Structure 1
Amino acid sequence: MDEIDVPPFFICPISLVIMRDPVTVSTGITYDRESIEKWLFSGKNTACPVTKQAISDCELVPNHTLRRLIQSWCTLNACHGIERILTPKPPIGKAQITKLLDDAKSPLQRMKCLRRLRSIASENGTNKRCIESSGAVEFLASIVSEYDLTAADEALNTLYNLQLSEAALKNLMEGMASNATLKLLVTIFPWGRNRTKATEAGNVPVLIDMLLDSSHRRSCEIILTALDKVCQCAEGRLELLSHGAGLAVVSKKILRVSQFANQKAVRILWSISKFCGTCDVVQEMMQLGIVAKLCLVLQVECGHKTKEKAREVLKLHAAAWKNSPCIPTNLLSSYPA
Structure 2
Amino acid sequence: MDILKEKESGSLSEECDEALIIFHHRQCTDIQLRKIVQLEDDSIFFDALLRIRRIGRIESRLHALMLLRKLFKVVDPAQITGIKDELFEETVRILKDNGVSLQTIKASLELVTEIIRWGRNRIKAAESGMVSVLIELLIDNSDRRVCELMLVALEQICWCAEGRAKFLEHAAGLATVSKKVLRVSHVASDRAVRILFLICRFSSSYRVLQEMLEVGVVSKLCLVIQVDCSETTKERVKQILNLNSRLWKEASCIPAHLLSSYPSL
For residues 140 and 192 of structure 1, what CA distance do their matches in structure 2 show? 23
1:94 and 2:18 aligned: no
Q: Which runs of 5 or more structure 2 residues have no equivalent in the other structure? A: 1-6, 24-31
RMSD between aligned residues: 3.6
1:162–1:187 distance in 2 versus 1, CA, 3 Å? closer
Q: 2:96 aligns with which of 170, 183, 187?
A: 170
For residues 181 and 132 of structure 1, what CA distance do their matches in structure 2 show? 12
Structure 2 SS opposite 1:215: coil
Q: 1:206 aligns with which of 133, 139, 153?
A: 133
Q: TM-score with structure 1 length normalisation?
A: 0.60
Q: 1:291 aligns with which of 218, 226, 241?
A: 218
List, as ranges, runs of 4+ consecutive aligned residues in structure 1 with deviation greater than 3 Å. 95-111, 117-121, 128-140, 150-156, 161-169, 171-178
Q: 2:44 aligns with which of 109, 113, 116?
A: 116
Structure 1 SS opposite 2:238: helix
Q: Kindly state the Cα deviation for residue 158 of structure 1 after the two structures are TM-superposed.
A: 4.0
For the Cα contact (< 8 Å) 2:65–2:111, is it kept in 1? no
1:160 and 2:86 aligned: yes
For the Cα contact (< 8 Å) 2:94–2:105, is it kept in 1? no
Structure 2 SS opposite 1:94: coil
CA distances 1:60-115 after superposition (whole Å, capped 9, x unpaired): xxxxxxxxxxxxxxxxxxxxxxxxxxxxxxxx943898699998969544453541
For the Cα contact (< 8 Å) 1:188–1:194, is it kept in 2? yes
Q: % of aligned pairs identical?
A: 37
Structure 2 SS opposite 1:146: helix
Aligned to 1:185: 112
Aligned to 2:55: 133
Q: Kindly state the Cα deviation for residue 176 of structure 1 after the two structures are TM-superposed.
A: 3.2
Aligned to 2:68: 144
Structure 2 SS opposite 1:145: helix
Structure 2 SS opposite 1:330: helix
For the Cα contact (< 8 Å) 2:53–2:65, is it kept in 1? no
1:114–1:208 distance in 2 versus 1, CA, 3 Å? farther
Aligned to 1:310: 237
1:142–1:299 distance in 2 versus 1, CA, 3 Å? same
Aligned to 2:26: none
Highest RCO, 1 vs 2 (Cα 8 Å, sep ≥ 6): 2
Aligned to 2:159: 232
Aligned to 1:86: none
